[in-house]
Structure formats: structure tokens, C-alpha cells
Structure 1
Amino acid sequence: MRDQSQLQHRDDPALHAARRARLAEIVGSDGVAMIAATPERNRNNDVDYPYRPNSDFRYLTGFLEPEAIAVIAPGFDAGDYLLFCRARNAEQEVWIGRRAGPEGAMADYGADRAFAIDEFEDWIDRLLDGRRKLYLTLGTHPEFEQSVLDHLSALRSQGRGGVPPCELAVLEPVLHEMRLRKSAAEVALMRQAAATSARAHSAAMQAVRPGMYEYQLAAVLHYTFESDGMHWAYPTIVGAGENACVLHYIENSAPMADGDLVLIDAGAEYRGYAGDITRTFPVNGRFSEAQRELYDIVLAANRAAIEAARPGAPMNAVHQAALHVLVAGLIEVGLLAGSVDDAIAEESYRAYFMHGTSHWLGMDVHDVGDYKIDGEWRALEPGMVLTVEPGLYVRADDNPTSRFANIGIRIEDDIVITETGCDVLTADVPKDADEIEALMAKPYRSETP
């Protein structure tokens, strides 16, 4: 009898079947596509990192084990979808955990036929035989990819195995264009990731106290993620005071002082889909006058950018909307001089705002998909999910006498483009300064809901 606990967090097989059908249409009856799960990675000595397959592989298969190869071969006599995976092994399953095996790959993951991973070498020539075009990933699993290319080269040079593919195509661009537009089912998963991420940020606002360490506040977020059966989508950033001015600060090792702002950039991953939220708030529960002044500029930029995110608008319209508000604010508070247009043209603002406002979001926190098509910013379309994250960072090293020194602020939301505008997936966590202060005044309770 199969242990159903193996399957309770399994992806919906129908989603992956629909994606494979779309890919099969692109590949065609004279083509074949091959993709391998990334190898396990060693952390130290006999300890590996927790395994997560590459997102493209999971997108097509829903299969979460290492040492697996998926083949899409429309019209192939053994089936359109073949999965090669680890065979069942009673001894290994005692030590490491249960495996689906070829039987489970067919019963639970939709493979037409499945075989032990060791058998792939016996099948590869047959899979390539007579196919005009081979779609293969390049750089995802170099050892596997090189092995396939070696077989292809041998078939071509030695005339073995009938007619080998005469054309090689890179698989990633095809999959990434598919992944860029999220289905309703994918958006539903991202709503759940966003909801847990929002709850974690709200909990952190209530839990923070002067004297706490950044890692202790990170633990509050991770506790919330794990309580909902999720885990972090990327290493959590908790930076207080001057650490908030380091964009990808992940040490999370410093104490948080009374009067500091703390910037948290953290998101949960749910069934392979990422949430990505940044909030900035006062450690002592009250913004100072200078903190509030800069905070309101960033908040206005966040809202302007969200307003600009509409179907048909170019992708960079979101950044441009935020940038104009930020630059005008920097001039108003005296951090920049001159006109808004001049500051943008000369890029003098980059001393305080040095990153873009948006990136795609999905199975990867910096998700796949081109931002430009033929050199032009692509138009936003319903189903595209992106972040909106303007920020301002005033480093004391560059501004030692400024009343804004060591203030770093970023406000990030996740949005999905709709038919008429956009929907903010992360609206459940406060970002208005008054609302943040009101929430922080409430007692923190760590109980799970």
C-alpha cells in the first residue's frame, strides 16, 4: 500500500499535464525535448542541502526527487511523456526516505511510461532516432546535457540509430515564455504564498523590540512560514539601522537599537511558488520625523508604481512612475538639487536608489521571462506577476551629517496584472505608517491560527 503522506503536498498533476501538452505542441511530432532535475548539492562532508528541483523541471513534471529525467516525445511508441527516475530501494528508503519509483511516476505523476534512471543510456539513441529537432536545456545540468550532446554527435558522425536530429534548440526560452504568464491555478498558489508572507511580516512588526537581534526577528518570520507548512523562498533579509542600506544583507546578526528602522525582505514558498515582501518599520514602534519623511516618499512611489501597472503598459512604466516620485521627494528634502528631469538624466539619484523597481515573480523569486522583445520593453499582460519595490538608502559613509544618515527604506508588494489593472496579492500586511504603528502597539501572540 502506498503511503499517502508522500502525496499530500504533491502538486496537482493536471497542471503539469496541461503544460506538457502545450510543450508537445511546440516540439511537434518530429521533435523531442529532454530535461533533467538538477543534482543534489553538498553542503559539507556528508550533509547535503535540502533538495529542491530546478523550477523548469518541476513546472513540467511536479516530480520532486533528484536523479530524474523527463522526455517529451510526441508520437513516440512508448508514450509521449517518459520519466526516468530512481528505482525503489528498500535499504535506501530506510535511511533516506521513500521513493516514487517508476510505478509511482506513472500512477501519481502522469508519466505514460517510466523507467529506472540507469536505463536512460539504453533509451537515448532510440529517443533521438528520426527526430528532426532536439530541445535541450543548456547549463541546468551540464553533465546530463553533455552526455546527450555526445550521443547526438556520435549518431551524426557514425550514422548510427537511423536519422538523428539535424537541429538543436535551447529549451529554456520556450519554457520561460510559458512560465511568464500565470494561470488562474498558479495565481491561487501565489495568493497563498503571499498571504503567509504577509502574516509573517505582520507578526514581525508586533514581535520586534529594542535589544532583539536581527536573527531573532528572522525566526519569527520562519516560524510563521513553517506553521503554514511552507519555508522561505529566498534567504531572509533582516537589516536594522545601517544594515538596512545593504541591499542583500543576510547576516542578520546585529542587535536592533531603539531608534533604528528595520528593513525585512522575506517571502514564503508554497508548492514551488514564491512570495516576496519588503516592509520597513521602527524598532521602537514609532517613526521619527526624519524616518517618516523619507518613508512617505517611498510609500508614494510604491503606490504610483502600482497605479502604472496595467495591461498594455510597457514593463518599465512601473519603474518610471516610482522613479519620478522618488526623485521629486529627494529634491524636496534636500538630498538632491536641480530638476527632476535633470536628476533622472544624470542619474544622480542612484546614490540613494540604485536598483530597479520590479522583477518577475513566480516559481523563482527573480522569475524567468524576457523584459524586452527586440530591444523594446514588453507590454504587460494579464497573468504576469511582478514585484513593486521602490526604496531609498542614505548611507552614513556618504552622508555623515545628514539627518537621514543610516536610514534604509524599501516597500515591496507582489501584483498580478488583470484585464483592467492589477491586483495586489500582498495587501494584507500594512504599509501606511499610521497603520504600522497601530499594529505594532498590539501585543504579539505566537500561537498558530
Structure 2
Amino acid sequence: MFPKEVYIRRRNELREIMKDGIALVLGNPDAPMNCAANIYQYRQDSTFLYFFGLDHPGFAGVMDIDNNKDYIFGDDVDIDDIIWMGPQPSVKDQAEKVGIENCVGSSDLKTFVEEAMKAGRKVHFLPVYRAENKILIHELLGTSLNKIKEDASVEFIKAVVALREIKDEYEIKELERAAAVGYQMHVAAMKMAQDGVYEREVAGEVEAISLRAGGMLSFPAIVSKRGETLHNHEHGNLLKKGDLLLVDCGAETDTHYASDNTRTIPVGGKFTQKQREIYEIVLAAIDKGTELIRPGVDYRSIHLEVCKVIASGLIELGLMKGDADSAVAAGAHTLFMPHGLGHMMGLDVHDMEDLGEDYVGYDEKIQRASQFGTAYLRLGKELKPGFVITNEPGIYFIPALIDKWKKEGLHTDFINFDKVEEYRAFGGIRLEDDILVTEEGNRIIGKRIPISVEEVESVMC
């Protein structure tokens, strides 16, 4: 938890942006795994954490914009709770730590909201992703369950994005902490990637490192030798010398700030010639992205420049043909990189994605593209100092996509399908760094995880 002045400042800044009404932020309840008493590890809502800071289930927060007051709605534990959980701080004591004086019981939230509505005041709420909170919004406001996303306050969403997208000194420090744990996770994975090891053993170790550091994973780890499946959470394969292992994972601090890095490593410690050639293209692409990231540049233009590096490299290897600029303009490169270059990162590994990706990654100036592949770019808008983003190009050989394009005769002017068939079982390579946009340009968050061919092979051997 940060000093209470941080939370007070954030709530006051929101009041300066929004015009009137009350802004309702629901914290998360506990989530049962298979019965009410057997729950998943608790994770608080990130926007609630940002404004109210209390990492405890069952709370709701209200920022009264008209009357310059803030409220926490929640209940103190009773003796039954204490028997199972031990003594817990009171709601009042917790609220004081984030600069809130008005503490009200949970049952009074409905009355509070009803009175605001009767007075003709706006009740702003954000999109919600938990079923329990969807039901609560319905009960509080009468909003139809299937219209909650549609009826969420656009004014509130845009205000939250404007505040959360710029990371302050406290947040950057937490992101550095997460990055330090992420570094340990990836180096451990490199050392473990040997012939005869199962993917699940590596996945278990990287999660253990995050847990030992005091936080959970920032997202379910991707640890797979089938790296052509972009979000592959299957960990059942046995590693063999000559395989490539794609490891995409990150740590979350005890304050819930995230890291998110990817490295692709040769099982047994040495890249083959074919693997090295593709790897070097991806390495050149990530370095090009880092070179271009700076304030005032829209991230979609950086994405496209990085794609040109990938296309150029594949043309040199004979997998693509023609002119790289023309190939990227046509979208031919998306056979090999069918995703965007990166996304916002912070309290969420895909920061604020619950608010709506287009509100976070795009604006009135930069709209989402419709072209296959480029349409998956989560962040396209102009970069500002204080943004924390990922830079994660890749090259993948996806048999189903290759077959589809080949059958449909797509981009035959730019793709050498006969050569591509030689790479059909190759898998995929992705590299990913976390980047802070600064006034002068950018810097990588934390110490850069070994990334060159020589660095990776040195760690593994």
C-alpha cells in the first residue's frame, strides 16, 4: 500500500476530470473454486486498488464528485470469521490508511445509490467482469444484465484511463520490483530447459519463484515447445534436445503490479542454424521497437516498422519475397506475426483491459485497424511519458493458418509457400521486454533478461 496521500490525490484528480455525480467502484468478492468455503487466491479489482488501495474482499468505494466526499462500504468481521481467519482490522482502520473518513455498512450501499438517483444525480459505474458484481450493479441500478457493458459510464472510463495510463514514481518502483522477480523466473527457466524435462516442471518453478517473492503470477504462465500457439497454457510436453521452449510469464508484487516478459530458448542450450536465423530476425525486430519508442509517436506506426524488419528478414531467408514495405502494407507478414506489438501494463498485465481495449489503446486520433493481424494490436495511440508498455514481436509457423492461406491463394506475390513448408514443424519465437516511456525516449523496466544468442546460450550451458 502506498502513502494515503497518493490515494487522496488520485481521487481528487478524478474529481477534477469528471463533471458531476457519484463514481461507484466495486471491489471484488471472494470466488469459490468448487464450493463456497474453498476459494481461489484472492485478487482485488485493479481500479479499486488504484483509488482505494484496500486489498480485501467485499468492499465498494464511492467518490462523490458533487460534495467532495469519499466513502467505503464494507462490514467488519464477526466472531465466526475471526475463528477461521484470525483477527482482522476494522473497516474504519483500513479506510483511514487511504484517507477516507466515511465508512458505511455494505447493506447501506443500495440506499445511498437510490437516494442519489432520486435526486437526479448521475451514478457512474465501470464495466464489470465478475458475475457477482454484474448482479450487484443490476440490483443497485436496475440495469439489465445484458446491458451493463453498454450502460457503463464512458466519461468515467475515459477519466480512469487518463489517470492510470501515466505511472507515478510509486508505481514505477513496484514495476521494477516485479521485473526483478521476473528476471529470476526467466533465468531459472533457461537453466531448466534440458532434454528430458517436462514443460510443467519449468512452469512450476517459475510460479514458485513468484510465490516465494510474495506475489502470484501476473497471468497464467505460457511455457510451451509449441510456441506457434500464441497463448498456449498446456504444459504436458516432454522437452527434447533441439526443441524451442517459449516462456512467456511474469510476476505480480504484493501490491499487484505486474511484469510480463517472453524469451524463447533452445532446449539443451544451443540454437540450431535454422533456429538462430529466425531468432536473429525477432531480436532485430524487438531492438527496432525499443529504438523507436518515445513520446509523441503512435505505437501503431512502431508496430508497422517492426513488422517491416520481420518481413525483410524473412525475405532474406526466402520465406517471403518482393518488397518488405509492400508486403506489410498488404498484410502478408501476418502469416508469421498475427498479433500486435504490445500493450499497456501496470496493475494489470494487460492494463485496464476490463474497461475496454479501444478506450485504453486507441483514441479519436488513432482508430483500430481492420486488417487481419494488425486488428489485434491492443495499443495503437500516441505514446506519452509515464506509459509502461510491452514490446513483443514474434515469428510463428502455424500449420492451420498456413494451410488456410495456401488453399485460398492469399498473398502469393509475397509468400514462398514451398519454402514455408520446410518450417511447418518449427514452432514459434517471441521476445518481450517491458518499456517505460520517458521524457527523452524510453528505458527497459528492470535489468534486461538475457536475450542475445550468446547471452542465452551462456546462461544455459
Scaled by the length of structure 2, what TM-score is found?
A: 0.84
**How many Å apart are 1:440 and its aligned residue?**
1.2
Task: Name the CA shift for 1:190/1:339 in 2 (closer, same or farther; >3 Å).
Answer: same
Matches within 5 A, 1:48-59: 48-59=39-50
Structure 2 counterpart of 1:258, one-letter code = K
Distance 2:361 2:153 in 1: 25
**How many Å apart are 1:170 and its aligned residue?**
5.1
Distance 2:154 2:428 in 1: 45
Find the partner of 1:147 among 128, 139, 149: 139
Matches within 5 A, 1:111-260: 111-128=100-117, 130=119, 132-140=121-129, 141-150=133-142, 171-240=156-225, 243-260=226-243
**How many Å apart are 1:83 and its aligned residue?**
0.2
Distance 2:119 2:113 in 1: 12
Distance 1:433 1:31 in 2: 56
Number of the residue aligned with 1:163: none
Task: Name the CA shift for 1:122/1:348 in 2 (closer, same or farther; >3 Å).
Answer: closer
**How many Å apart are 1:351 and its aligned residue?**
1.5
Number of the residue aligned with 1:371: 361
Find the partner of 1:284 among 268, 276, 287: 268
Verify the 8 A CA contact 1:199 1:428 in the aligned structure 2: no
Verify the 8 A CA contact 2:260 2:434 in the aligned structure 1: yes
**How many Å apart are 1:357 and its aligned residue?**
0.6
CA offset digits 1:258-297 (Å, max 9, x no partner): 1111000000011121100000111100111111000000
Number of the residue aligned with 1:37: 27
**How many Å apart are 1:396 and its aligned residue?**
5.4
Find the partner of 2:64 among 47, 66, 73: 73
Distance 1:404 1:101 in 2: 60
Task: Name the CA shift for 1:168/1:388 in 2 (closer, same or farther; >3 Å).
Answer: closer
Give the RMSD, CA atoms, in angstroms. 2.3
**How many Å apart are 1:72 and its aligned residue?**
0.9
Matches within 5 A, 1:99-110: 99-110=88-99
Structure 2 counterpart of 1:150, one-letter code = G
Question: Any stretches of 5+ residues in structure 2 without a counterpart?
Answer: 144-151, 353-358, 367-379, 403-418
From the two aligned structures, give the one with the greater strand fraction.
1
Pair 1:293-2:277 in alignment: yes
CA offset digits 1:106-136 (Å, max 9, x no partner): 3333221112212323433444564643322
Number of the residue aligned with 1:26: 17
Task: Name the CA shift for 1:371/1:207 in 2 (closer, same or farther; >3 Å).
Answer: same
**How many Å apart are 1:404 and its aligned residue?**
6.8
Provide the identity percentage. Answer: 30
Matches within 5 A, 1:366-445: 366-368=350-352, 369-376=359-366, 378-395=381-398, 398=402, 401-403=421-423, 405-441=425-461
Distance 1:97 1:53 in 2: 20
SS in 2 for 1:100: coil
**How many Å apart are 1:168 and its aligned residue?**
6.5
Verify the 8 A CA contact 1:291 1:404 in the aligned structure 2: no
Question: Any stretches of 5+ residues in structure 1 without a counterpart?
Answer: 1-9, 152-166, 442-449
**How many Å apart are 1:14 and its aligned residue?**
2.8
SS in 1 for 2:194: coil
Verify the 8 A CA contact 1:309 1:317 in the aligned structure 2: no
